[in-house]
Amino acid sequence: MNKVYIAGIGQTPVSESWEKSLKELAGDAGLIAMEDAGIGYPDALFVGNMMAITANRQAQLATLMADWLGFHHKPAISIETACSSGSAAFRMALMAIASGELESALVIGAEKMTDSPGSEITASLATAADAELEADFGLSFVGLNALLMRRYMHEYGWSHADFANFSINAHANAVHNPNARFRKAISKDTFTKSPMISDPINLMDASPVSDGAAAIVLSARPIQTEGKNISVIASAAMTDTLSLQNRQNTIKLNAAETSARAVYAQAGLSPSDMGLFEYHDAFSIMAALSLEAAGFCEPGQGPRLAIDDKIKYDGDIPVATMGGLKARGHPVGATGIYQLVEATLQLQGRAGPTQVKRNKYALTQNIGGSGSNIITHILQSE
């Protein structure tokens, strides 16, 4: 697949938005990205979103956004792979450009989750699990992750407190990100004493239900922007069984591993070449499993990287450099685009106080379901 360039980026602050609708959030992010790119209207619009049809009673969100943004008589398409919908839309746009059908595309990831009662959002999130084998038995999404975390702690002998630095690091980085939801550092004490949600997952293990939108303009050609030109040099999507019970090993993210291996092979690079890893820390157990699957440590050793402070912005493998899902927030369909926007800012040297030192290559990985649909990209600064 031909190289594709990031021509512009945009994001709204992640929040509980009482003043802007889904349409307005997505529109704001799209307009900022289009202004950043400065190439007028791209050839098509791709929207990553998971639950507009339930949370906002709106299907074909892409058509609405094309209408709202003035893309009349251009193609617009909505893409959905649960919590990896943003990266899935990004990957579809890459392929459409690489096919020669489009010269450029706007990709928006958007989700507005806080308009519905909590119980409805919990039910909507549970649709990312297998309806017949998991959700119909009352398993919520946090419940599934609690099962994973408990099994992982049992298997490798970690305590709950051993996961503290994943969240502490995320919150410390979010302090400096004006678009993060929780710009407040937390202590180890805060982490360990937080209210339990689904044992062993407590409030500080979990990313927050949030509203937000982020956007990227992609182009077949490099475009002069404020910072450096950033290109997408590798893209891979992989699936695993939808239900956890069908996996031989539940505490290994198989699709994360195969998609990470695929992008390393495409780019001719290895984990040690990555200057940062924007991972999918929806829960602290996912942070550990992601580091392992992407090849930064052996299975079962994810928490060690956190305990040893290797994951800080000035460490060996910086993660969640602008707050991650935990502290920037996790508006599900938008998250993949936030990750790619943040990686772009890092590679352009525009990441502020948490700027990483090695900013030639960035790895991003977006996880749909309990590791069932995983999309991985490598970006490069030129």
x/- letters, 358..377, toward a second copy (CB under 8 A): ----------xx--xx----
* 8 A C-beta contact, residue 147 and residue 246: no
CA distance 110 to 107: 10
Tell whether residue 63 is a contact of a second copy (CB under 8 A): yes
Active-site choice (83, 160, 171, 280): 83
CB of 48 to a second copy, least distance (A): 10
Is residue 74 close enough to count as binding a second copy by CB under 8 A? yes
Site string for a second copy, 19-38 (x = CB under 8 A): --x-x---------------
297 as an active site residue: the answer is no
Q: What angle do CA 124, 369, 292 make, to 5 degrees?
A: 150
Look up 330 and say whether it is catalytic: yes
Count of residues making up the chain: 382
**CA dihedral (3, 86, 229, 315) positive or negative:** negative
> What is the DSSP annotation of 203-221?
GGGBPPB-EEEEEEEEESS
Between 136 and 155, name the residue whose CB sits nearer to a second copy.
136
Question: Counting contacts by CB under 8 A, is residue 73 touching a second copy?
Answer: yes
CA-closest candidate to residue 82, choices 34, 135, 136, 25: 135
Question: Please, are residues 338 and 55 in contact by the beta-carbon 8 Å criterion?
Answer: no
Encoded one letter per residue, x for contact with a second copy by CB under 8 A and - for no contact, window 36-55 reads: --------x-----xx-xx-
The distance of closest approach from Cβ of residue 242 to a second copy in the complex, given in angstroms and rounded to an integer, is 5
Among 28, 36, 130, 292, binds a second copy (CB under 8 A): 130
Q: How far is the CB of 57 from a second copy (least distance, A)?
A: 5
The residues, any chain, with a CB within 8 Å of residue 2's CB and separated by 6 or more, are 97, 98, 220
φ/ψ (deg, to 5) at 175: -50, -35
Q: For 120, what's the count of Cα atoms within 13 Å in the CB-facing half-sphere?
A: 13
| 140 binding a second copy? (CB under 8 A) | no
Chain contacts with a second copy (rule: CB under 8 A): 1-2, 21, 23, 44, 50-51, 53-54, 56-60, 62-64, 66-67, 71-82, 88, 92, 94-101, 123-124, 126-128, 130-132, 135-136, 235-243, 246, 254-255, 258, 368-369, 372-373
Residues noted as catalytic: 83, 330
